[in-house]
Amino acid sequence: MNDQIPVKNIPTVKIHKPEPSKQSDAYTPRSHIYVRAVQGPLELFRRFFGLIFVGIFAILPWLTYDGHQAILFDLYEQRFNLFSLTLWPQDLTLLALILIVSAYGLFFVTTFAGRVWCGFMCPQTTWTFIYIWFEEKIEGSRNKRIKLDERPMDFDKFWRKSLKHFAWIMVALLTSLTFVGYFTPISELFVDFFTWQASGMAIGTVIFFTICTYGNAGWMREIMCTHMCPYARFQSVMFDKDTLIVAYDAKRGEGRGPRSRKMDAETRKEKGLGDCVDCNLCVQVCPTGIDIRNGLQYECISCGKCVDACNETMDKMGYEKDLISFTSEHKLKGEKTHILRPKLVGYAVVMLIMTVLLGVQLANRPALDMDVIRDRNTLYRETSDGLIENVYTLKIMNRTQTEKTYRIEVDGLKDLKITGKTKITLAGGEILALPISVAADAWDLKAINDLVIRVVDVNDSDSVAEEDTKFLFH
């Protein structure tokens, strides 16, 4: 028996690396994408929707409710004001439920209609298109912007670039001031910032978010969507073959190629031409610089600009619209799109359950809260008139936004005596630490006695906070 293992000589495989000079850098992260303007119903809707979104963002912090800023996330005071609702750190479950409902709402919409959040509501997309609008108004159309960047610096190029960046910085500054205004009183912020009376923290925060907005919307743009945003990476988990996506109908469009408008269908068929005239407009209008004809790509944000651009070309050629459209993989294959499906229904059911739980939590949320803290230095003490006394600190919180008057009650002991305030008034959102002492005759006491301390709204007997505690003796 031969113990030798046969050896086979394998020839070395030569690896052919691509030559950098022959590689296009059209879609590399640092390439500048010159987005072409487009008109159409989807673009009009996106602009209208974006205008509403920006308007809501800009107006909300200026609204007042009952004498205070309607929406204020006051981190210093550790409370969030949402019109008549005030949330405290103790309301963490409410915040968790709000985030869960928002997450499942996003999952539901994505499963049904793809990345419409990215294309129509995402702040990164909205502000990027605002910045592109300033580019078009100051530097001109796509071709003019390309030629302008290729030119050496002259006075015309200098003033156009300077004006564009000045406009970008102003938009970024107003955006930053508005955003910070959600966390500090906005009317004071605007006055104090421009008069340099604001705190160093406020000024530093505004400058930081100004730089972020200017960099993200002005310079990084599609890099945020394609390389930094995690949503672009995990969206495929929620997609299925019935999800609405922006897609190119390859069966109808291929083969591509230019042709005369007068060319009839028979001639096109003989030459093997589909409906795609290879005008490349779908690539030129894409804010992430992709070619949708290459299939679904994670860079696509479903803004629909390529749909409008293609439909405009189809109109000019006299062809049927929607060569590129919001459709599903099943529909592209000639199959039926199923709207109701287990995944979509599952997201809807979970979102509904979480919404109901949130509503129940809000409805049962107490307007008054209290904690009782016993004095740990002394278990008990004897007063000058022979009574046994225990000392407590009541931490009372008025969770409403209006002034309230409360009454302090204590039950559980015979002929007890309370020393301290038994009637207090708290402003909206105020927290008060109130020391009281409770005394009783030693003959009526055991070593450990049950005690109930209660705080009652004098104008609303249903608003009550009570806590069981112990009265100690011996």
Residue 340: closest CA among 328, 348, 332:
348
Rounded-to-integer distance, Cα 255 and Cα 241, Å: 25
Rounded-to-integer distance, Cα 406 and Cα 465, Å: 10
Residue 255: closest CA among 239, 233, 244, 270:
270
pLDDT of residue 22: 41
pLDDT of residue 17: 42
Rounded-to-integer distance, Cα 450 and Cα 440, Å: 13
**pLDDT tens by residue, the chain, 474 residues:** 456 666 555 444 343 444 444 444 444 444 689 999 999 999 999 999 899 999 999 999 999 988 889 999 988 888 888 888 888 887 888 889 999 999 999 999 999 999 999 999 899 999 999 999 999 999 999 999 999 999 999 999 999 999 999 999 999 999 999 999 999 999 999 999 999 898 889 999 999 999 999 999 999 998 998 888 888 777 778 888 999 999 999 999 998 999 998 888 889 988 999 999 999 999 999 999 999 999 888 889 999 999 999 999 999 999 999 999 999 999 999 899 998 899 999 999 999 999 999 999 888 888 898 999 988 888 889 888 889 999 999 999 998 888 899 999 999 998 899 999 999 999 888 889 999 999 999 988 989 999 999 999 998 888 899 999 999 987
| Dihedral angle sign, alpha carbons of residues 332, 333, 334, 335 | negative
Beta-bridge partners for 372: 394
pLDDT of residue 20: 44
pLDDT of residue 9: 55
pLDDT of residue 81: 87
Amino acid letter, 286:
C
Every domain of the chain and the residues it spans: 25-62+114-334, 368-472
Cβ partners under 8 Å of residue 212, min gap 6: 176
Rounded-to-integer distance, Cα 308 and Cα 287, Å: 14
pLDDT of residue 76: 83
Say if residue 429 is preceded by a cis peptide, omega within 30 of 0: no
pLDDT of residue 385: 86
User: Token match 């049904």: residue?
Assistant: 112
Instruction: Identify the CATH class of 368-472.
Output: mainly beta
